[in-house]
Amino acid sequence: MQHFLDDLLCLPLVLTASLFVLRFFYGTQLRLSRYQVAFAVLYFALAFEVFFPRFMPRYTGDWIDAVLYAAGGMLFYRFLNR
C-alpha cells in the first residue's frame, strides 16, 4: 500500500509545486491545461516505468504505477488545478 500511495501522490505534489512556481512568476490566474497534465503523466510513466528500469537496476517497471500516475494526474486536474 505504501509504495502505491507514493505513486498516486507523486504527480499531484509535483504539479502543485510547479503550478506554485509558475503562478509566482506569471500571475495567480494561471492553470495547467489537460494537455500539460497529460504530458506530465506520460513523461513520468515513460521515464520511471520504461527508461529508468532498463538502465538502472534500482528501478523496476510496473504498469500499475503508470495507472496510478494517471489517476494522480486526474486528481490534480480535477481538484487542485483551480
Spans of all domains in the chain: 2-80
pLDDT digits (tens, 9 = 90+) for 17-72: 999 999 999 988 999 999 999 999 999 999 999 999 999 999 999 999 999 999 99
Strands (E), 9-72: none
Quote the CA–CA distance of 53 and 2 in Å, as a whole number.
20
Look up cell 480535477; give the residue. Answer: 78
pLDDT of residue 43: 98
